[in-house]
């Protein structure tokens, strides 16, 4: 849960929306400005702030904040 | 029909729904007609809205993965033709899906739409020539549009992918884009092929970034062009993709290759990542699409 909260805060910064409007199911369908470029920006910030390296495919394919959270958890497990 | 495709794309990849809807709203009437005609053609060949959405999503996801790689490493993943040939150009299943997805980007990606207009407007303005050659026609949409314009008395094309040759021939003879003049499309490597010039127009749309020696491709194009003939080409800067192996870093780098090949740029179209200036795109190393009309320089 802590990981999701951090990702939510970072996403709120990137997309310029209140954190309270974002949840695990939040996706480009309901978050204005979540295009490919902003997605890359979000991935880069997540990797930097959480000190983790996502798999390329996970970074590209994640469609929701929940999936990004899972990608971070998976990357941490692989790095451990 | 288009609405069904957009819905399928949105289901497959929510991140694409808004950009695709926005792109559709900017298409000219003729472009919308071409998109409808091409989709109808693709559906008549066994596709469904879902499979076309999957083809489009393949291009989107593969490109995004390569962008992730590019951001991390500062270079393209692949640098040799051998790295990508078997997985892309000579893989019938992948290549067909890739070409179908790429055809859709010609209507859904802003820079691809504008480059297509640039090429077609240039072809419409140039004096009609006797012979037209297109190198690497891929899905065949540009080739078909050029043939429809009637910018030459005869049309030829060459592509090293058997899948592309089949797709082109199928599209050109289907009548999907109207009655077209005969176009001879053959399978061969441009550098090794026995091609008899001269041609008044040579077109290379999104080819130079796919080859190890774009300089040789341009020299060969110049050899095949008549004096006063024109090369129309498009390529891209800092634009990773699954099969891009030649990484151009600036517009000037591409223009220098054209000049060295004996071609003088007379018109250019430079398209930074949508929403950014050229300087901003360069600073962030985000893709820049470019198109050129170049005229042959008289041989010394």
**A–B CB contacts, 8 A cutoff, strictly below:** 46
- Interchain contact B71–A (C-beta under 8 A): yes
pLDDT for A64 equals 92
How many Å lie between the alpha carbon of B289 and the closest alpha carbon of chain A?
Answer: 16
Tell me how long chain B is: 300
The pLDDT, as a whole number, for residue B126 is 96
More confident residue, B239 or A28: B239
Checking if the pLDDT of A71 tops 70, the result is: yes
pLDDT digits (tens, 9 = 90+) for B179-238: 999 999 999 999 999 999 899 999 999 999 999 999 999 999 999 999 999 999 999 999
Task: Kindly report, residue by residue over B21-70, the tens digit of the pLDDT.
Answer: 999 999 999 999 999 999 999 999 999 999 999 999 999 989 988 998 99
* pLDDT tops 90 at residue B153: yes
Q: In this prediction, what percent of chain A has a pLDDT beyond 90?
A: 60
Instruction: Report chain A residues whose CB lies below 8 A from the CB of B13.
Output: 63
In this structure, the strands spanning B152-159 and B183-187 are parallel
Nearest-CB residue to B15 (from A39, A43, A57) = A39
Domains of chain B, first to last: 2-108 (no CATH), 110-296 (3.40.50.150)
Residues of chain B found within 8 Å of residue A27, distances taken between Cβ atoms: 14-15
> From the CA of A79, how many Å to the nearest CA of chain B?
17
Peptide bond into B167 cis (omega under 30): no
Average pLDDT, chain B: 94
Q: What is the pLDDT at residue B103?
A: 97
Do B231 and B198 contact (CB within 8 A), yes or no? no
Tally DSSP H helices, then E strands, for chain A.
Answer: 4, 0
So what's the ipTM on this one?
0.77
Tell if the CB–CB gap between A39 and B19 is shorter than 8 Å.
no
**pLDDT value of residue A1:** 65
Interface touch B68/A37, C-beta < 8 Å: no
Count the Cβ atoms, other than its own, within 10 Å of residue B208.
25
Of A34, A44, A57, the CB nearest to B15: A34
Identify the closest residue of chain A to B285 by CA–CA distance: A37
Determine contact: B285 vs chain A, CB below 8 A.
no
Q: Which domains does chain A have, with CATH numbers?
A: 2-79 (1.10.1200.10)
Give the residue on B whose Cα is nearest the Cα of A26.
B14
Separation between Cα atoms, residue B71 and residue B164, nearest integer Å? 30
* CA–CA gap between residue B105 and residue B40 (Å, rounded): 16
pLDDT tens digits, one per residue of A36-55? 888 988 999 999 999 999 99
Beta-carbon separation of A60 and B67 below 8 A = yes
Determine phi and psi for B250, rounding to 5 degrees. Answer: -160, 160
């Amino acid at each position: 849960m802590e990981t999701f909260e951090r990702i939510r805060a970072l996403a709120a910064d990137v997309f310029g929306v209140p954190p309270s409007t974002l949840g695990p199911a939040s996706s480009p369908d309901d978050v204005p400005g979540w295009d490919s470029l902003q997605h890359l920006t979000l991935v880069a910030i997540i990797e930097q702030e959480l000190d983790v390296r996502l798999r390329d495919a996970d970074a590209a394919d994640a469609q929701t904040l929940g999936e990004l959270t899972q990608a971070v958890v998976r990357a941490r497990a692989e790095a451990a | 029909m288009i609405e069904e495709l957009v819905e399928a794309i949105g289901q497959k990849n929510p991140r694409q729904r808004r950009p695709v809807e926005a792109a559709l709203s900017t298409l000219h009437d003729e472009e919308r007609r071409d998109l409808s005609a091409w989709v109808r053609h693709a559906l008549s060949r066994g596709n469904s809205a879902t499979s076309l959405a999957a083809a489009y999503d393949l291009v989107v996801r593969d490109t995004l993965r390569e962008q992730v790689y590019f951001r991390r490493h500062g270079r393209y993943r692949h640098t040799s033709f051998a790295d990508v040939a078997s997985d892309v150009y000579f893989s019938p299943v992948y290549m067909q899906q890739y070409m179908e997805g790429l055809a859709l980007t010609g209507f859904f990606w802003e820079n691809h739409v504008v480059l297509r207009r640039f090429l077609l407007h240039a072809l419409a303005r140039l004096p009609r020539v006797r012979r037209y050659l297109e190198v690497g026609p891929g899905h065949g949409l540009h080739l078909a549009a050029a043939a429809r314009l009637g910018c030459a008395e005869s049309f030829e094309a060459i592509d090293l992918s058997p899948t592309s040759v089949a797709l082109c021939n199928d599209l050109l003879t289907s009548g999907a884009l109207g009655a077209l003049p005969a176009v001879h499309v053959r399978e061969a490597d441009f550098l090794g092929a026995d091609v008899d010039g001269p041609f008044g127009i040579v077109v290379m749309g999104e080819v130079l970034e796919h080859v190890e020696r774009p300089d040789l491709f341009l020299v060969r194009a110049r050899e095949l062009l008549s004096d006063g003939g024109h090369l129309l080409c498009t390529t891209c800067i800092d634009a990773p993709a699954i099969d891009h192996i030649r990484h151009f870093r600036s517009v000037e780098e591409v223009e220098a290759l054209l000049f060295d090949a004996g071609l003088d740029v007379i018109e250019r179209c430079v398209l930074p990542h949508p929403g950014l200036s050229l300087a901003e795109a360069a600073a962030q190393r985000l893709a820049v699409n470019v198109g050129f009309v170049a005229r042959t320089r008289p041989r010394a």
